[in-house]
Amino acid sequence: MSGILDEFAWRGLISQTTDEAALRAALDAAPVTLYCGFDPTAPSLHLGNLMQIVTVRRFQDAGHKPLMLVGGATGLIGDPRDAGERSLNPAEVVEEWVGRIRAQIEPLMSFEGANAARMVNNYEWTASLDTITFLRDVGKHFRLGTMIAKDTVARRLASDEGISFTEFAYQVLQGMDYLELYRRYGCTLQTGGSDQWGNLLAGTDLIRKAEGVAAHALTTPLMVKTDGSKFGKTASGAVWLDPDMTSPYAFYQFWLNADDADVVTLLKYFTFRSREEIEALGRAVADEPYKREAQKALAEDVTALVHGSAALDAAVAASQAIFGRGELGGLSAATLRGVADSVPSADVASGTSFVDALVAVGLVESRSEARRAIAAGGAYLNNESVTDPDFVLTASAAIAGGWAVVRRGKKTVGLVRIGG
């Protein structure tokens, strides 16, 4: 079962690990219980979290036993940020977010069989923990010099705002989670992003000091594009797993628009395709990049994984239809709302001229430019060419949810919602 590490190495998924030889030996000896933690500091997980879930799922598929921790306790505090204190969310908000995040994780893991996944919440073992016990039994194993030396803590200490004791103590709580999961379930491996390396080591050190056992840690690389920019961000912000925060259409388009230089790496990180399949897609990128076969495979796999096959089908149908390659009539109001989050859109009143609608959406900069586009045959309403510069929009032009698709040329698309 240690062959999973060779798989990880090929996929570029190993950033740091404690003792790789010892970890290989442990993976070969028997199924290992591992865990990964997710703090509810927002109402949804994002792509960085998805990479960790997929990583743990790879371990599970190789026969190992995953614990998926949603931090009802650590979410009340939050991991220290590089700059500035976090706003502490009310306990009832964090509790709600715990439920939302559990619901996002559960469909992505298997909860059946000999190595079924288990959901855990660290609030269970911290809620009743008194301060004296915490300081005597846990705090005594932590050395201040080591805690201060951690990168984020060091940067915050050197900054004008400094760091509160609350955030400084976060690494102790995360270390305690690992110790508790070792005691309860025999957990001996924690995974996470490379920015969590210090927190992971806090756990391995605590288990060594408290139990005399060598536990393991493995991190994956932080996701950055070839140009050095952070992956998982768009002009409108983070790409979320919650369909109400990032629609399945926008989610699909995000992956479909992956750069040629990044797409093979993303296939390795986020899909379960084999080496042979990914290498074939890599050759397609090099030989026929205009076909975007790798991007389509990536978008289809990840959208289906997170949102399901029905949402994928709706996103693909919408992608084709709004660019004139499919039927708009089959799109639902929910799908079109998702499209509206991803393309320019505007609300217009019934009786608005098509010229003014093009300007309102932003497909042209002026009414005169709109008229020229119409005269040239390059303006469309619901994929039908509009040649009359005096054409007026009415409710009869709307499709599901009162939306209508406006397009200039082949690729510049927007939506208008026609009011009463």
String of DSSP letters for 153-176:
HHHHHHSSS---HHHHTHHHHHHH
Q: What is the pLDDT of residue 1?
A: 55
One domain, residues 353 and 385? yes
DSSP code of 79? P
What is the length of the chain? Answer: 420
For tokens 């393991």, the residue is: 216
Q: What is the count of structural domains for the chain?
A: 3
- The model's confidence at residue 223, banded by pLDDT at 50, 70 and 90, is confident
Shared domain check, 410 and 312: no
> Which CATH number do you get for residue 263?
1.10.240.10
SS3 179: helix
Edge-to-edge strands, sheet with 65-70: 16-17, 216-220, 187-193, 33-38, 65-70, 118-121
Residues 59 and 192 grouped into a single domain: yes
- Quote the Cα angle for 385-387-390, to 5°: 125
- Which of 220, 239, 259 is a domain's end point? 220
> What tens digit of pLDDT does each residue of 8-33 get?
999 999 999 999 999 999 999 999 99
Q: Which residues of 307-340 are buried (b: 16+ CB within 10 A; e: fewer)?
A: beeebbebbbbbbebbbeebebeebeebbbbbbb
Residue 2 has pLDDT above 70, yes or no: no
Q: At what angle do helices 354-361 and 367-375 cross, to 10 degrees?
A: 120
pLDDT at 420 over 70: no
Integer Cα distance of 203 and 224 in angstroms: 27
Residue in the structure block whose two tokens are 């296939």: 267
**Confidence (pLDDT) at 326:** 86
pLDDT for 237 equals 80
Same domain, 273 and 404: no
Burial pattern 215-245, b for ≥16 Cβ within 10 A else e, equals: bbbbbbbebebeeeeebbeeeeebbbbbbeb
Within 10 A of 136 (CB to CB), how many other CB atoms are there? 10
State the pTM of this model.
Answer: 0.91
Question: Are 172 and 32 part of one and the same domain?
Answer: yes
Tens digits of residue pLDDT in 372-402 = 999 999 999 999 999 999 999 999 989 988 9
In the chain, what is the straight-line distance between the N-terminal and C-terminal CA atoms, in Å? 63
Question: DSSP class of residue 117?
Answer: -
Question: What one-letter code names the amino acid at 171?
Answer: Q
CATH number of the domain bearing residue 24: 3.40.50.620
Which segment of 178-187, 232-241, 340-349 scores lowest on mean pLDDT? Answer: 232-241
Residue type present at position 121: N
Pairing relationship of beta strands 412-419 and 345-349 according to DSSP bridges? parallel
The rounded distance, in Å, linking the Cα atoms of 264 and 212 is 42
| Backbone CA torsion sign across 272, 277, 282, 284 | negative
- Nearest alpha carbon to residue 190 among 296, 69, 97: 69
Does one domain contain both 211 and 149?
yes
Helix (H) or strand (E) holding 121: strand 118-121
7 and 84 share a domain? yes
Give the contacts of 28 (CB within 8 A, at least 6 positions apart). 1, 2
The predicted model gives 411-420 an average pLDDT of 89
Q: Are residues 383 and 280 in the same domain?
A: no
Contact predicate 362/386, CB 8 Å = no
Structure tokens at 301: 């796999």
Query: Structure tokens of 260?
Result: 């040629």
Q: Is residue 212 domain-shared with residue 337, that is, in the same domain?
A: no
Whether 195 and 280 share a structural domain: no
pLDDT of residue 342: 86
235 has pLDDT over 80: no
| Helix locations, 242-325, DSSP H | 248-256, 260-270, 275-287, 293-307, 309-321
Host domain of residue 328? 324-420
Look at residues 290, 321, 352 and tell me which one is the last residue of a structural domain: 321
